[in-house]
Amino acid sequence: MTESALDRVRIILVEPAGALNVGSIARIMKNMGLYHLILVNPQCDPRSAEARQMAVHANDVLAAAQVAKTLPDALRGCHRAIATTVRTRSLDMPLEHPRDALPWLLEDFQTDGQTALIFGAEERGLSNEELKFAQRFVYIPSSPIYPSLNLAQAVAICCYELSQALDSERSEVRSFAPDTQTLNPAPLDEIEAYCQHLERLLLKIGYLHPHTANSRMEKFRRLLNRAYPSAPEVALLRGILRQGEWALNQRDE
């Protein structure tokens, strides 16, 4: 494993509000060997004079930053995604230390596999709706007296941990990831397409109701994200849904 493993990692900022932060993040990314920055619906001008001033010699990273309308758009083609969050969350999900979880993004499970590390907006972090697109979740331990970190600081810590996860002497990743043997995990956008298909069918047969569908589907998504299904397995699941829809249509006719 070489530093090219970092080339597959996307740093995704959801609705960043501060141009100074965006510029600082471009700089720390280049410091640590990361180059793929994606901004989801930015609330600032990422190419403003302020952003360029903070980027210093990383204006190439800033200039190459892509803008996406939604988080699913930013994740298109990714096979693994980790979201950053804080300890106090109502969702039933394990929170991991960056040092334990982030090496998972670098594992050479697929030569062209893209991975993502997602950060929320400065004022609010990531919503429960946005967190559902990740498979694992990290928090950065900090003092309970003042636990809130600046966005650029949080990105800097995680980028540092990613760079340190590469063991240059052995040329391999030091990974503490769970033992997942999937050789060709499905892209996250294919999993999301399956979930939307599943939701439509479950609403149609009455298993889901509109007022509870979101909470139920969050549980289905977490189950799928823990399973790391392959692309053929997702195709198999979608085939079951299509057959179910065909059977319903036959019955109605």
> What band does 168 get if pLDDT is binned at 50, 70 and 90?
very low
Highest mean pLDDT among 131-135, 216-220, 226-230: 131-135
Pairing of strands 172-173, 166-167: antiparallel
Q: Measured between alpha carbons, how far is 16 from 30 in angstroms, rounded to an integer?
A: 19
Between 175 and 192, the more confident residue is: 192
64: how many CB neighbours lie within 10 A of its CB?
11
Which residues have a Cβ under 8 Å from the Cβ of 49 and sit 6 or more positions away? Answer: none
Residue 44, token pair as written in the block: 């600032």
Position 2 scores a pLDDT of 46
Q: Work out the average pLDDT over 53-79.
A: 94
3-class SS of residue 226: helix
Position 184 scores a pLDDT of 72
Residue 245: name the closest of 210, 207, 198, 211 by CA: 198
- Domains detected in the chain: 3-173 (3.40.1280.10), 188-252 (1.10.8.590)
109: how many CB neighbours lie within 10 A of its CB?
18
Return the minimum-mean-pLDDT range out of 61-70, 130-139, 160-169: 160-169
Q: 73-95: buried (b, 16+ CB within 10 Å) or exposed (e) per residue?
A: ebbeebbbbbbbbbeeeeeebeb
